[in-house]
């Protein structure tokens, strides 16, 4: 009987696990939908900014100006100090999400080693613990960015980076995060945010049709540009945070889905084992009784 008991105990445990993973899957699905809605709503801002940038650059080109120039767009002559911002999750159980972001971050750290002084800033408990385990000193940590990063929080961060870059304290800003492409495709990436290589002007076609419109500029295009470049940087940084939030929920959803499936499979094998064990026990008991009865005759 002992064997069948042990199997039953195990079976119960697996059933409980399946219940938990299934609930977590549902929660992740709901969170993902919310995060996705936020990301699509925020996309309108980024789109408009790039539209205005396209209009501005065409207006500047018409005026014969040498093009866009802004301290954030210019590369510093020497790359001495760099910052790497790593976006990970606060909570685990999301499959390979954190591992793949951190793998890319490590690659960047190795690349920079010896050549530039790299400051590492980490968001998310998982990343913080990882770097602690690796005994890699970290310059700043954030745990406030949950699945709903607000623009205000990101704005604060962005202002600090902008100031440091303009003052020449940092020469480069990279961000390691999981970029959201589609529902079924997310990619861990290290992206250089500063200097802004070139501003997104969208595809060439809308830019050409926009050029036909003659805008009145208040104040001059150059002055508007001075304001819009930081705004565009902030929008990009914010988008990275939103993407990371969406990707985290998708990763958790997928991980929990397969965990639920695995638990289901395990339950059916355990059930079979239990039935076999029970049957063999009955058979052995029966043969003992029959044996005993035969001995009495």
Partner 1 sequence: MAIDKSLRLVIVTPERTIFDETVAQLRFPLFDGDIGVLPGRLPLIGRLGAGDLKVKMPAGEERHFFIDGGFTQINKGTVTLLTQRAVPIDQISVAAAEAELKAAKEQSARSDEQFARKAAALNRARKLLKLARTAH
**Class of residue 171 by CB neighbours under 10 A (exposed 0-12, middle 13-18, buried 19+):** buried
**Run of H or E residues at 39:** helix 2-62
**Residue 233's closest CA among 193, 286, 183?**
193
* Closer to partner 1 by Cβ: residue 109 or 240: 240
Per the CB < 8 A criterion, the answer to whether 216 and 58 are in contact is no
Using the contact rule CB under 8 A, the part of the chain among 99-107, 118-126, 201-209, 221-229 near partner 1 is 221-229
- Residues from 89 through 128 that contact partner 1 (CB under 8 A): none
- Does the protein bind partner 1 through residue 35 (CB under 8 A)? no
Structure tokens at 215: 């805008």
Structure tokens at 52: 């205005």
Shortest reach from residue 238's CB to partner 1, in Å: 6
Structure tokens at 168: 């020449």
Shortest reach from residue 37's CB to partner 1, in Å: 9
- Does the protein bind partner 1 through residue 155 (CB under 8 A)? yes
- Does the protein bind partner 1 through residue 224 (CB under 8 A)? yes
24 CB-side CA count, 13 A: 23
Of the residues 116, 217, 222, 257, which one makes contact with partner 1 according to CB under 8 A: 217
**Class of residue 292 by CB neighbours under 10 A (exposed 0-12, middle 13-18, buried 19+):** exposed
Of the residues 111, 139, 181, 223, which one makes contact with partner 1 according to CB under 8 A: 223
- Does the protein bind partner 1 through residue 159 (CB under 8 A)? no
- Does the protein bind partner 1 through residue 150 (CB under 8 A)? yes
Shortest reach from residue 40's CB to partner 1, in Å: 9
With the CA atoms of 37, 41, 46 and 49 taken in that order, what torsion angle do they form, in degrees rounded to the nearest 10?
Answer: 180
Of the residues 41, 265, 285, 288, which one makes contact with partner 1 according to CB under 8 A: 41
- Does the protein bind partner 1 through residue 64 (CB under 8 A)? no
Report the interface residues with partner 1, using CB under 8 A.
38, 41-42, 44-45, 48-49, 51-52, 55-56, 150-151, 155, 213-219, 221, 223-224, 227-228, 231, 234-235, 238
């Amino acid at each position: 009987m002992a064997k069948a008991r042990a199997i039953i105990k195990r079976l119960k445990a697996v059933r409980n696990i399946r219940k938990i993973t299934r609930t977590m899957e549902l929660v992740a699905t709901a969170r993902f939908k919310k995060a996705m809605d936020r990301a699509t709503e925020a996309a309108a801002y980024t789109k408009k900014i790039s539209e205005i940038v396209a209009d501005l650059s065409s207006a500047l080109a018409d005026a014969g100006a040498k093009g866009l120039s802004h301290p954030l767009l210019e590369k510093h002559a020497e790359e001495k100090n760099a910052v790497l911002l790593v976006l990970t999750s606060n909570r685990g159980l999301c499959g390979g999400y954190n591992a793949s972001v951190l793998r890319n971050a490590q690659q960047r750290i190795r690349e920079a080693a010896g050549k530039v002084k790299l400051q590492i800033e980490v968001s998310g408990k998982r990343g913080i613990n990882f770097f602690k385990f690796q005994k890699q000193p970290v310059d700043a940590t954030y745990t406030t960015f949950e699945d709903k990063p607000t623009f205000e929080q990101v704005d604060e961060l962005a202002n600090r980076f902008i100031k440091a870059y303009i003052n020449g304290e940092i020469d480069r800003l990279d961000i390691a995060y999981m970029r959201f492409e589609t529902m079924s495709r997310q990619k861990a990436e290290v992206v250089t945010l500063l200097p802004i290589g070139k501003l997104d002007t969208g595809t060439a076609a809308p830019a050409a049709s926009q050029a036909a419109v003659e805008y009145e500029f208040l104040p001059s295009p150059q002055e508007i540009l001075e304001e819009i470049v930081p705004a565009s940087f902030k929008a990009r940084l914010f988008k990275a945070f939103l993407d990371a939030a969406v990707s985290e929920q998708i990763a958790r959803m997928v991980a929990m889905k397969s965990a639920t499936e695995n638990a289901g499979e395990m339950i059916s094998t355990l059930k079979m084992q239990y039935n076999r064990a029970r049957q063999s026990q009955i058979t052995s008991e029966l043969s003992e009784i029959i044996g005993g009865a035969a001995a009495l005759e």
